[in-house]
Each structure stands twice: as structure tokens, then as C-alpha cells.
Structure 1
Amino acid sequence: MPNSELMPIGFFAQRTGLTSSALRFYADSGLLPPAEIDPVSGYRYYGADQVARATALRRLREIAMPLADIEAVLGSGADEASRLLDEHVSRVVEDAAAAHRKAAVIKSALGKASGLPITALKGPVLADAVEQVLTATAHEPGMPVLAGLRVEATHDAITLTATDRYRLSTRTLVPAEPPAQTWAGTVNGDELRAAVAEIRRSALVRLEAVPHGIWLRVADREDRHCRLLTEEFPDYRLMLASLGEITTRTTVSKELLLRALEEHPGERLALHIASHGVNVVSEDDEDDKHTHHPLPATTTGHPLRISFELTTLYPAVSTAIGPEVMLDLRGDDQPVTIRSAARGDLTTLAMPIKSARTA
């Protein structure tokens, strides 16, 4: 290759985002040898066809991939390289989680302050409740509290609450032991979600508050620590207290409603609620021309047509407890309350969208 088609190491470094010292290191390790070395001056030159490999090498090092794994990735086809990348990321995540747990233990020891016992809950019950309520969380830039789960302990109950501004889910649990005292905090949702499997396999889980976090204490298993979020949780009690009067109530099979939502082709839909049943129709079908046979339902109050995003309504229905769900409606522009027809300890509010008829 003529020298005119080669790049000196400094120019190649600028093209690829790698430093000259890094290029020398990768050359010595055999990952990226130069295309040519001047036998007199020792200057290293690289070809344009090496830019892609150098760029990929830099990106792999940015995610802390070891050199041996990088060599395997660069020498593999797309499918095998993807598998190796997934394995590496999984190891990084696991190592980070382990480091976080160890750091929590160290901080607790440094503080030399005993935790504050909150309450004890049955592990499987707590795990189910956490999974149900966490469906209403969201990762919003600038609003980390929306990814958290609010835990509130009173003298006779534990309440879990989450909201993404379009849904609000809350579930009340009866503790296995009366709470020692009142307590409230917003727990990191991702860390709590990661602890669910461990919680589910524990007959009893004791909640213990420490500065900046809570401990989930379990017998014969590793205790789990979850951080507390410092941002103020939305005043959901004020929102619940300000809800308008219920004008329509309908009870429908959870299975049938979910099936209708799954089969609906659009991202938006409308519920047409009448005395004869509930129908899932297209949100932009102004005359309900494509109305199917309505789902059997027990309805009281005024007929109503209300529109939703599928991503808002479906999880609110799917997490309801029991074979039937009850929908309490207050108009086509007000939140709908969704809960079990038989049990009220899990309640979800879902926000409708503006109907195409009035848009």
C-alpha cells in the first residue's frame, strides 16, 4: 500500500477517537496492528479500512470489556458478537448490584446505628404487591421519583403506591405483625424490583429503615438493601380526595376485557359502556361502525364512551386481582378507577385521553 493511502498514527487517532498511546498498546497486544511501520523511522501508519475496527474497539473498551472478550467479539459474526455483548453486560450489571449491596453493608457498619424496625410481611404477598404496583412507575428525565414506590406504614396497614402521571396504583397490605410505628419513604423501584425473586421465596420479610434506605430482612437468605429517593413523592392523597362523583359503574370479566384489548389493532381505543355491556372500539371510529358483540357486563349509571392509550389501560386491567374488574367512571375526561370486583386492596387510576370526537 503506498504511503499516500496511509494515515500517520496521530491522524488515525483523531479519526477513531483513540489516543496514540492506546493505539500503540492495541498494536502490541495484537488487536489492532498498524498497516505499515517505517523500517527507518519506526513511524506507524494505518489504513482507512482499519477505522471501523478501531472505532468498534474503542466502544467496547468504553463498556469495560476485557481485551480477550474484545478479540472474540471482533472475530465473530453478528449473532455471536451480540451474544458475547449480552453476556458481558449481564456480568457488569451483576457486579454492580453486588458492589451496591456490599457498600450498603459497609455504610451501615460505619454508621453504627441500628435499623428502625417497621413491620413484617409474608414474602409471596409482598412480592406480588410490589410487582403489581410497580407497573405504574416510569423513568422520566428530571423526575426520578416517578420510578419509585412509596411505602407507608400505619399502625394497622402497609400501603404501596406508584404513579407515572397517567396511572396511579396503590395496594394496601395487612402485615403479619403490627407495624412498630408509623413510617413513610419512597424506595428505589429498580432495586426493589430486583429483590422480588428473593422476597417471593421467603416466608416472612422484615422491613427495617436505615438512613437513606431500607433493609428487607429474610431468614436463611441474603438480606436486600434498597435506597430511598430524596425527591418529594406526588401528593396522591389530595388527587384521590379531589375525584369527582362516580356517574357510571361497570363490572366485566377481566379475561374477556384483556382479550379484547389484546386483539384491538390500534394504539388508542375507546370503551363504549352501556347497559347491555362493554365494547372495545377504535378511538377514531366516531360512529362505532365497527362495533363487535359487547362484552357481558353489569352496568349502572349513564352510558359513556371514554378513550385511552392501550399502554395506560392494559396494565391497569391486567394487574387487577380476581376474575372480574370493576370500573368506576366520572366522565370521559376524568380518571377511571379500576379494581377487583371482590377485593379493594389493589386500586389503579387510569387517565383517559381526549376523544377524537372532540379533538
Structure 2
Amino acid sequence: MPPSELMPIGAFARRCGLTSSALRFYADSGLLPPAVVDPVSGYRYYDAEQLARATALRRLREIAMPLAGVEAVLAAPAEEASRLVDAHVAKIVGDASAALRKATAVVSSLGGGPGLAIGALKGPVLADAVEQVLTATAHEPGLPVLGGLRLEADPGSLTLTATDRYRLSTRTLVPSTPPGRTWAGTLSGDDLRAAAPDIRRGALVRLEAAPHGVWFRTGGREDRYARLLSEEFPDHRAALASPGAVTTRATFAREPFLRALEEQPGERVALHVADRTVEVRPADDGRPGTALPATTTGTPLLIHFELTTLHPAVSTAIGPDLMLDLRGPDQPVTIRSADRGDLTTLAMPVRHSHPKRPRTR
């Protein structure tokens, strides 16, 4: 191949994102030998067809895959390569989780004596509540608190709250052993997700507040820990205390409503609440939707939502029936379980701009 059709090592390095020294290392290890080595100068040249392999190699090394693993992935068919990558990532996640548990135990032991008891709950009940409320979290750069869960304890209850600013979910639980004093903190949502399976298997889980987090003592099983987030949690009390007067209310079966949402083709969905009916229809055209029987009161209303806001709020509701408290097309909607009121979710609608229609002469 003429040298004019090849790239010198510097140009190839810029194209694939590897340094020249890394390319020399991978060439010497046999993972990515150059297409041509000038026998006189020793200069290395690469073919454009090697870019895909070089890019894949770089990405595999970025996820800390050892050289033997990289070689196996690059040599394997697509399906086997995907399995090898998944297995490597699973090992990293498992090792990181184990390291986190050990590190949090060390940090907690440095704090001295036992933590503050803030209540005890049946493990399955607590795990369900945590997983339900965590659906309202979001991973947003610069705002880690939106990925956290607010835990508030008072002498009679434990309240869990999360919000991504477009949705707010809260659930209040009555502990088997009430706390002796009030306590509040925002816990890492990632830590709680990892801890939920072990919490679920605890017959009675005791919560203890430590200086930098909360311990979930499962009794006979490995205790789990969730770190405290230092950022201030969004002011959610005002939204819960005075969301506005309800103008329309609808009660209907949850599962058919979820199926209707899942059948919608677009990113947004419209709800038309009228006499004894809730219609779920596409937001951006006039096509008919799915009409569901409902018990309705108040004025008819057409309201629009992002599907990614409304669906998780509905899917985590408790029981077979759902109640919507609506306050207008631009006001927060309260989504409640009709038979149990301890899980409440507020979801923000979106403004709807009607698509422009072609002018007629």
C-alpha cells in the first residue's frame, strides 16, 4: 500500500483518540500493530480501516478492561463480545459495591458509639416505599440532590420524599418502633437502590442515623448504609400543603390507564376528562384515543403531560384504582391511590402548542 494512503502515527492517534505512546504499546503487545513500518526510518503507518478497532480498544480500556479481556472481546463475534463486556462491567459494579459497603462501615466506626434510633419498620414495607418514591428522582449534572430521597422522622411517622422538579412523590409510613425525636436528612438514591433487596429480606429493619448517613439494621443479615447528601433539598412542603383548589376529579382503574399510556406513539400525551370518561389520546394531532370509564366530578378538562413524567407516577401507585385531582391545564396534578392515601405524587403538566395547520386559499 503506498504511504500516501496511510496515516502516520501522530495523525492516526488524533483520529482514534489514543496517544502515540499508547499506540506503540498496543503495537508491541500485538493488539494493534501498524499496517506498515518503514524499514529504514522505523516510522509506523496505519490504515483508515484500523480506526474502528483502535476506537473499540480505547473504549474498552476506558472501562478498565485488562489487556487479555480486550483481546478476547476484539476477537469474538458480536454476541460473545457483548457478553464479555457485560460480565466485565458486572464485576466492576460488584467490586465497587463491596468497596462502598466496607468504606461506609469504616467511616461509621470512626464516628464513635451507636447512632440515633429513628424508627423501625417491616423490611418489605420499607423497601416497597423506597422503590416507589425513588421513581421521582433524576440524575442531573450539578444537582445531585435530585437523585436523593428525603427522610423525615417525627414521633409518629416516617416520611419519604423525592422530586425531579417535574414530579414529586411522597409516602408516609407508621413505624413499628417510633423515633424518640425528630430527624431529617437526604439520602443517596443510588445507595438506597443497592440496599433495597437486603432491606426487603429483613423481618424488622431498624434505622439509625450516623453523622454522615443512615444505617439499616436488618437483624441477622448484613446491615446496609446510605450516605447523606449535603445539598439542600428542594422546598417541597409548600407544594404539598397548598397545591391549589381541585376543579376536576377522576377515579378509574389503573391498569387499563397504564396500557393506554403505553400505546401512545409520541413523547407527550393528552388527557381529556369529561362526563364519566377519561380519554387518553396523542397530544400532537386530532386522532381519537382510548376512552376509559371513570367516576368524574367538576368541570371537563384537557391537559397534557410528558409521557416520562406521567407514566412512572401512575405505575408506582398502590392498588387497582387511581384518583386524579386536577386544578387546570397548567397546575400540578395530584395522583393518589384511591384506596390508600399514604403514597401521593404530584406531576406537572406541560403547555401545549397546537401544530400549525396549512393555510387554505
Mark yes or no: TM-score above 0.5.
yes
> Which structure 2 residues correspond to residues 52-201 of structure 1 after superposition, within 5 A?
52-201=52-201
Partner of 1:305: 302
Aligned amino acid, residue 351 of structure 1: M
Gapped regions of structure 2 (runs ≥ 5): 357-361
1-side partners of 2:179 and 2:156: how far apart?
7
Aligned length: 355
CA contact (8 A) 2:151 2:161 kept: yes
CA contact (8 A) 2:323 2:335 kept: yes
Work out which of the residue numbers 332, 335, 352 in structure 1 matches 2:332. 335
Q: 1:189 Cα deviation (Å)?
A: 0.7
Partner of 1:45: 44
Percent identical pairs in the alignment equals 70
- 1:321–1:18 Cα change, 3 Å: closer
After superposition, the CA RMSD in angstroms is 2.5
CA contact (8 A) 1:279 1:295 kept: yes
CA contact (8 A) 1:34 1:44 kept: no
CA contact (8 A) 2:153 2:182 kept: yes
Partner of 1:344: 341
- 1:193–1:40 Cα change, 3 Å: same
2-side partners of 1:12 and 1:341: how far apart?
63
How does the TM-score come out when normalised to structure 1?
0.90
CA contact (8 A) 2:284 2:355 kept: no
Aligned amino acid, residue 151 of structure 1: L
Aligned amino acid, residue 276 of structure 1: R
SS of residue paired to 1:295: strand
Partner of 1:290: 288
2-side partners of 1:306 and 1:4: how far apart?
63
SS of residue paired to 1:180: coil
Partner of 2:206: 206
2-side partners of 1:76 and 1:355: how far apart?
49
2-side partners of 1:170 and 1:194: how far apart?
20
CA displacement 1:175-221 (0-9 Å, x = unmatched): 11111321111111111111111111111111111122111111222
Partner of 1:267: 267
Q: 1:358 Cα deviation (Å)?
A: 11
2-side partners of 1:57 and 1:154: how far apart?
54
2-side partners of 1:355 and 1:2: how far apart?
60
Aligned amino acid, residue 306 of structure 1: I
SS of residue paired to 1:91: helix
- 1:33–1:313 Cα change, 3 Å: closer
CA contact (8 A) 1:188 1:227 kept: yes
How does the TM-score come out when normalised to structure 2?
0.89
